[in-house]
Chain A
């Protein structure tokens, strides 16, 4: 099965082409260039877009605009190429790339996205439960390195690829392929206007 996977929820947009479990190409750039990456991956593997049998997209959490660009691209491709779609959380993909480490994504406004009992959650960076000697990965871990290290955690060097949610992991983790609506965004926060209405 030829699977196209990509994730545009963080500043580094990743993409991968995976044939029967083998990574045949992988790229990293930015959300706005994701189709260019996909095009290059196919060209590099001498494959046509019609050969894509499944699409996997990162569902965040992360930058709302980036996340939506990936999801809408994936849904449109799923419809146009008549390929089933699956969503994989960006946190799960990060975790899969660094077994034993805790994934942390920068949520801006002094907050981070992290896993809380296995589920994505948003919290203030300073409220992140830190286990001494454990490793923390992702752009949130890099951003709050000082805070984490001060509490005894380990954060790999900034340029370590372990901080990037590589799309090969999305492809590996993808479970139930389904209709274009199968992949839903993980926002974790209401729009500000909604908060002030209910607040």
Chain B
């Protein structure tokens, strides 16, 4: 049985996981730093990198333990090479290179976005391409055309904020906690999504724009009396969330139409949003625990990515943005 160890440190989750060659998850360990970054209202790169250094070796050790495997049982080490925070990526990449080198194992450098898509290829319900994939998270908002498991083509992306960022910024304007997505989602359930009309930006092609929406919320909150904001916070949250979800779902349907692809999938942290899950009822959704950043998705993507045998990866560098 083939075993792949995955390592992921591109943003604020320190993660390691073990996946079999046929896509079964043997271990999925994620040390979230969300609480650590909550006091700053967002991910602070230097804080994240320091935490990754503390966590990455214990997290790898725990993943191997849970999988009941040792390094000697592995066939490859997979690691996120980018895109992401460069200092954070280099912690995971350095760890993965050292682990692979120590056993002369091949290394599989994985594109983080490919990882998110590959969360759909895991057992027990692996999705077969082709499909249109909406990848929405704190760092990315992309529409992808997926023709086979080895990659994807980008159909559209955000021109400004990522969808997850829009949630975070909206939450901050409403005086809610961080991360904002979960906070808005929770509050929106008690509110009226039609109470306020927030614009869904219409940009050309299949791109997204969320900065105007954030500004609209800012003006609305500013124009209301503080007690009114307090009283109608749930309505504001529900209406704001509705606008984001509408932008995401409409564009995704357009993408399906343009490409002629019938199947739609949604991945990334924002895929955990309950209204989006509802709005995209027909879509294939990654299981909740695989929506946010994790390492089993990286190990999964490695099954369909080029392997770099020893010693080709010894000087491998990370990349912050996709080329």
Contact = CB atoms under 8 A, between A and B. Distances in A.
Contacts of B97: 35, 73
A157 B99 CA distance: 39
Contacts of A64: 46, 49-50, 87
A170 interface: no
B86 A197 contact: no
A12 interface: no
Contacts of A75: 57, 95
A72 B57 contact: yes
B35 to A, nearest CB: 15
A81 interface: yes
Interface string A184-199: 0101000111100100
Given A33-B314, A197-B40, A39 B94 contact: no
Contacts of B103: 80
Nearest to A83: B102
Interface string A12-34: 00000000000000000000110
A75 B71 CA distance: 15
Chain A interface size band reads 20 to 34
A39 B101 CA distance: 9
Interface in B16-40: 39-40
A49 B50 CA distance: 28
A72 B87 contact: no
Given A80-B103, A193-B44, A194-B47, A72 B61 contact: no
A162 to B, nearest CB: 27
Tell me which of A35, A77, A197 has the highest count of chain B C-beta atoms within 10 A of its own C-beta: A35
B173 interface: no
Interface string A160-189: 000000000000000000001000010100
- Chain B interface SS verdict (over half): helix
Interface residues of B, number: 31
A191 B87 CA distance: 13
A32 B81 CA distance: 13
Contacts of B52: 68
B53 A68 contact: yes
Contact of A73 (B46, B49, B86, B95): B95
Contacts, number: 90
A177 B60 CA distance: 22
A80 B98 contact: yes
Tell me which of B49, B60, B94 has the highest count of chain A C-beta atoms within 10 A of its own C-beta: B94
B317 interface: yes
A193 B48 CA distance: 11
B250 to A, nearest CB: 36
Nearest to B7: A76
A39 B71 CA distance: 19
A154 B53 CA distance: 38
A49 B71 CA distance: 15
Given A68-B90, A72-B91, A76-B57, A35 B98 contact: yes
Contacts of B47: 191, 193-194
B90 A35 contact: no
B314 A73 contact: no
B315 interface: yes
A69 interface: yes
Contacts of A73: 94-95, 97-98
B311 interface: yes
B73 to A, nearest CB: 13
B295 interface: no
Given A76-B57, A193-B47, A68 B98 contact: no
A47 interface: no
Interface string B162-205: 00000000000000000000000000000000000000000000
B56 interface: yes
Contacts of A187: 50
A69 B95 CA distance: 8
A36 B316 CA distance: 10
Contacts of A36: 311, 314-315
A36 B102 CA distance: 12
Tell me which of B86, B99, B102 has the highest count of chain A C-beta atoms within 10 A of its own C-beta: B102
Given A64-B87, A65-B87, A81-B102, 16 more contacts: A36-B315, A39-B101, A39-B311, A49-B101, A64-B46, A65-B86, A71-B53, A72-B95, A72-B98, A73-B95, A75-B95, A76-B98, A79-B60, A80-B102, A191-B46, A193-B47
11 contacts: A39-B314, A64-B49, A68-B53, A68-B94, A77-B98, A180-B57, A191-B46, A191-B47, A193-B47, A194-B44, A197-B40
Interface of A: 32-33, 35-36, 38-39, 49, 64-65, 68-69, 71-73, 75-77, 79-81, 180, 185, 187, 191-194, 197
